[in-house]
Amino acid sequence: MMYVRFPLSLRNVEDLLFERGIDICHETVRHWWNRFGPTFAGDIRRQRVSRMKGFRQWKWHLDEVYVKINGEMHYLWRAVDQEGEVLESYVTRTRDKKAALRFMKKALKRHGSPAEITTDGLRSYKAAMNELGNADKQEVGRWANNRVENSHLPFRRRERAMLRFRQMKSLQKFASVHANVHNHFASRPFGSTSNAT
């Protein structure tokens, strides 16, 4: 959990555990992360989805951010709710209608349909929304998407600590696990839907 929650390297976690009397190799930490990280993230995601599906005014914010893998540009698509919690992460090589459609289908299948979807001005979103029949739910505004833009910051800090990614598959795995664990430990804003009565 320390490795995912904080921007630490594998060797940093090895040192922290050594200070607590646990002598392990950094490769053991990597092995634990690969084995147990997706399981923890899946449990956290299922609990979150079951709480939010009944909420009528669920709003999503969608955005994509570029990530370099071995010097090649890739795109990390993200869906964030009105509380700033990351719902879905998806990695693609392109930023076109096909990629947007696959990302949105995945998010809608896993989380249900929101009342409103806020995006930036990328035309791929509009084309995908039209095909899915959600064009009436789309909202585009200059600063309306700040919620998702700010959600990229913890990911960028983590990316720097890891010295970037080397494979698309490892980026996808890390992005989905990191988002769910980060959501779990993030403080809830006053009056958030999970605390509201």
Q: Answer whether residue 35 shows pLDDT above 50.
A: yes
Domain annotation covers residue 123: yes
Residue 125 in contact with residue 135, Cβ under 8 Å?
no
Domain annotation covers residue 81: yes
From CA 114, how far away is CA 125, in angstroms rounded?
15
Report the number of distinct structural domains present in the chain: 1
Domain annotation covers residue 104: yes
Domain annotation covers residue 39: no
* CA neighbor of 192 nearest in space, from 91, 55, 11: 55
Q: Global pTM?
A: 0.69
Please write the tens of the pLDDT for every residue from 75-94: 989 888 887 778 888 999 99
User: What is the span of the domain harbouring residue 132?
Assistant: 56-168
Domain annotation covers residue 60: yes
* Better pLDDT: 55 or 172: 172
The domain that contains 96 carries what CATH number?
Answer: 3.30.420.10
Domain annotation covers residue 68: yes
Please write the tens of the pLDDT for every residue from 43-79: 877 777 776 666 667 788 898 888 888 888 999 898 8
